[in-house]
Structure 1
Amino acid sequence: MEVNDVQLTGRVSGDPSERELPSGDALVTLRLVVARGGGRPVDTIECACWSASARRAAARFADGDRARVEGSLRRRFFRTPGGPASRYEVEVRRLVRDRR
């Protein structure tokens, strides 16, 4: 069985950023800093909130808040002045405050 479910708990790095795309779609993005544990380095993971509920939830977060993200891993392709590029990000399905 194939599954693409991501669950992350970490700290929001910077305030979430809201923008409207040329297509008219709204998007809120945020970065989540997640420790690997055991004194290892942290990972900074881009998260994209497309649904209205995820965008509303993201708007309530600020730099340094602890959050739990549930979603799916997505690879996004785009063009840059240097040519084609891609990036992995988490497409957020659910975003809640982590109270730990």
Structure 2
Amino acid sequence: MDADEVGPGDENAVRLAGRVTGVAPIRVLPSGDAVQTVRVTVGRPARRGEAGRAAVDAIDVACWTAQTRRVAGRLGVGDRVEVEGALRRRFFRTGAGAASRYEVEAGRIRRTRSVTTARAASPPSG
């Protein structure tokens, strides 16, 4: 099978549920396309025998559509989100040469809990 062919049963689907730890400004690329990146941090379950060691994955989510950029633009650090999309490998040039990285391309992004709503719902301390 050629690398460009899609075979029966092939699927590239990602679902994330985590906390926003960064929102980059919208970038307009030389092609004219606009993209906004949101970093989502997702906790990992503890491994056997490693109690107390919290591990997380920090995953960059690329928002290419107007709808996903609109949602991303309203997010704040600490908000909880759900993302549905696909894993993509992006190639680019750096001063050191060609490079690549993986990111999730958002097909849908939804805030499930706002950090400001969570603060407002918490009783005052003291």
Would you identify which runs of 4 or more consecutive aligned residues in structure 1 move more than 4 Å? none
Is 1:22 aligned to residue 30 of structure 2?
A: yes
Is 1:98 aligned to residue 106 of structure 2?
A: no
In structure 2, stretches of 5+ residues that fail to align are 1-8, 47-52, 114-126
SS at match of 2:10: coil
What is the total number of aligned residue pairs between the two structures? 99
Q: Which residue of 1 aligns with 2:63?
A: 49
Larger relative contact order (CA 8 Å, sep ≥ 6): 1
Q: Deviations over 1:6-61 (max 9, x none)?
A: 00000101234211111111111110001112354100001100011111111110
Structure with higher Rg: it is 2
1-side partners of 2:75 and 2:86: how far apart? 20
Which structure has the highest strand share of the two? 1
SS at match of 1:54: helix
Superposition deviation, residue 85 in structure 1:
0.6
Q: Which residue of 2 aligns with 1:2?
A: 10
Instruction: Please say if residues 16 and 58 of structure 1, whose CA atoms lie closer than 8 Å, have aligned partners that are also in contact.
Output: no
% same residue: 55
Is 1:81 aligned to residue 90 of structure 2?
A: no
Report the RMSD for the aligned CA atoms in angstroms: 1.2
In structure 1, stretches of 5+ residues that fail to align are none
**Partner AA of 2:91 in structure 1:** F
Instruction: Please say if residues 23 and 37 of structure 2, whose CA atoms lie closer than 8 Å, have aligned partners that are also in contact.
Output: no
